[in-house]
Chain A
């Protein structure tokens, strides 16, 4: 699943057009992009839900079986209650936290790993590059989801940590490949040459000279990895390989499926958490695509008057 979408959207190898403008420039252009703003808005809404869920529901323990089971939506229960007697809206609100944590932590760790491996491979070159790229390629090609299922089933039933580790281990290789390609293209640029001539240490050059120029690609990679993590984690939990006690959207889906929510007239129980996973995924994907557009201006939407010309 998942990676499929990460892959193509991020696939355009961001050409080495990135200037040395640094972070501020990338952010500013991000804010000017409409897709990015929509994505960012969705993301922020979920952040608020995750940070202060108690503002949005009066329920304090969303997994407690405190209500009459299987109620249809009403004023008291906006989305109804589950077959076990939990408020669906409350679960949805509280569930935001885990999904966000998984997305951000797994996305971050995977990105750090990609940067470490990808950039060092490119910069070190020679045998180190051969070995690291081989490693990257092996991880890139091994079908990860079956591997994840095997791992998650046997690793004592995914506690959050297990899920995170599995996501990072399987999620870094794509970014590493891309970052290596980009770093390679920069190896012989003038500003790096001059740094070398200045006698800077290798680590200094990598951290302070190479990385800043790659900010937008790294950010795009982070978003891709976060998207991959959200969807994969939800898929795992949906299959029942997560922690059934946790409050998360994937776990809600698992319960709704096992109680046959669709067939027993409680479609919201299954559809609502799925929609949240989808929305969070969409927000990452929109921001990610926006980065592509920023780093490759040719992709941006064109105005009508320019359009005429192309039709010639």
Chain B
């Protein structure tokens, strides 16, 4: 139980640190939402009216900073995320996030899980057939792909499959603008078509890492005594491969996967930016550009919480699967 409490303590502390950072960094930096809005309206609208407008939407810059901070913490946890004061002035933050979340989850989430599963499988097979043709070139290839920048792969794909093919595959947005969202095959087809390039980018750049780690873990595990023992007992290869070796080799990869979620979000920003995909990453980029404090804060809180929850779940899963981990803390 002590272990669980410690992990929960860590969870709370980290979340608090992240939220605090996110509250104070923009507050102490130059720029104000009023000026941002003044720029957006090209000086056409009077600053006094803008100030009033932002106040009407709940922006209170002159309030005591500490009171603001406490309110902010309270609001973050109670789900009162407020109203956007940036380019999407007046739209509830929860609505904006609600609109963007499915796209990010659908695209980045699925692509990441796919990369993890496929990568792990290929890694297992490669380690099993160690010394085979595949295994001799595989590590080099994937060391290379895993070092490629997301945005560059994205640009390359756009160039080859969209520009050169005269728009064979769409290179931006989540679906064809002329369609209304529905469950019709046309709409779903359009969504899928628009997802191919960004999802391909994520797959290409992230699968290598999983293959390599899995292969390495697997090789280490295959040298363990209990695997030899399994062989000696005459168990089938399949049984040894999946039931003995892969199961254990998977453990460290699992926590790696949780940790990588944070990096997934980072990648999402660049991928969504390159492909103009209206997901959470794009939303964050816009929020920062427009000094949209409420939106920025809610997004950052979500990102941090998502990673923390994933790490926590993986910790507990690992602890449950592998009693040794509990002792280590």
Contact = CB atoms under 8 A, between A and B. Distances in A.
A and B touch in the complex (CB under 8 A): yes
Interface string B118-144: 000000000001111001100110011
Contacts of A155: 29
Given A227-B147, A302-B131, A1 B152 contact: no
Interface string A262-305: 11000100110011011001101110010010001011011110
A246 interface: no
B266 A2 contact: yes
B149 A281 contact: yes
Contacts of B260: 4, 7-8
Interface residues of A, number: 66
Contacts of A13: 252
Interface in A56-96: none
Contacts of A277: 149, 152
A285 B219 contact: no
A311 B17 CA distance: 51
A262 B159 contact: yes
A265 to B, nearest CB: 9
Nearest to A231: B149
A165 interface: no
A138 B147 contact: no
Contacts of B219: 298-299
B13 A134 contact: yes
B259 interface: yes
B256 A267 contact: no
Nearest to B263: A4
A5 B217 contact: no
A298 B299 contact: no
Interface in B58-105: none
Interface stretch (A23-31, A144-152, A204-212): A144-152
A150 B26 contact: yes
Interface in A123-169: 134, 137-138, 140-147, 149-151, 153-156
A284 B14 contact: no
A258 interface: no
Contacts, number: 216
A143 B131 contact: no
B300 interface: yes
A281 B147 contact: yes
A197 interface: no
Given A137-B14, A239-B273, A1 B216 contact: no
Contact of A262 (B144, B155, B265, B308): B155
Contacts of B265: 143, 145-146
A235 B148 contact: no
A45 interface: no
Contacts of B29: 154-155
Contacts of B25: 147, 150-151, 154
A27 B207 CA distance: 30
Contacts of B270: 1, 235, 238-239
Interface SS of A by simple majority = helix
A283 B159 CA distance: 25
Interface residues of B, number: 71
Nearest to B162: A262
Nearest to B139: A289
Contacts of A234: 149, 151
A18 interface: no
Nearest to B206: A4
Contacts of A259: none
Contact of B149 (A137, A151, A278, A284): A278
A310 B217 CA distance: 16
Contacts of A98: none
B213 interface: yes
A54 interface: no
Interface string B281-319: 000110011000000100110011001100100000000
Given A7-B256, A12-B213, A154-B31, A146 B156 contact: no
A35 interface: yes
B152 A141 contact: no
B175 interface: no
A145 B135 CA distance: 33
A137 B285 contact: no
B212 interface: yes
A137 to B, nearest CB: 6
A11 interface: yes
Interface in B245-288: 252, 256, 259-260, 262-267, 269-270, 273, 284-285, 288
B14 A285 contact: no
Contacts of B308: 141
Interface in B192-216: 205-206, 208-210, 212-213, 216
A307 interface: yes
B151 A253 contact: yes
Nearest to A292: B216
Contacts of B213: 8-9, 11-12
Interface string A153-193: 11110000000000000000000000000000000000000
23 contacts: A3-B263, A4-B205, A4-B266, A8-B260, A9-B143, A137-B14, A138-B17, A138-B18, A141-B304, A142-B14, A142-B304, A150-B26, A154-B29, A235-B149, A253-B151, A253-B152, A262-B163, A274-B149, A274-B156, A278-B152, A282-B148, A301-B135, A311-B129
Interface of B: 10, 13-14, 17-18, 21-22, 25-26, 29-31, 129-132, 135-136, 139-140, 143-144, 146-152, 155-156, 158-159, 163, 205-206, 208-210, 212-213, 216-217, 219-220, 223, 252, 256, 259-260, 262-267, 269-270, 273, 284-285, 288-289, 296, 299-300, 303-304, 307-308, 311
Given A274-B156, A275-B152, 5 more contacts: A143-B263, A144-B266, A278-B147, A286-B147, A308-B131
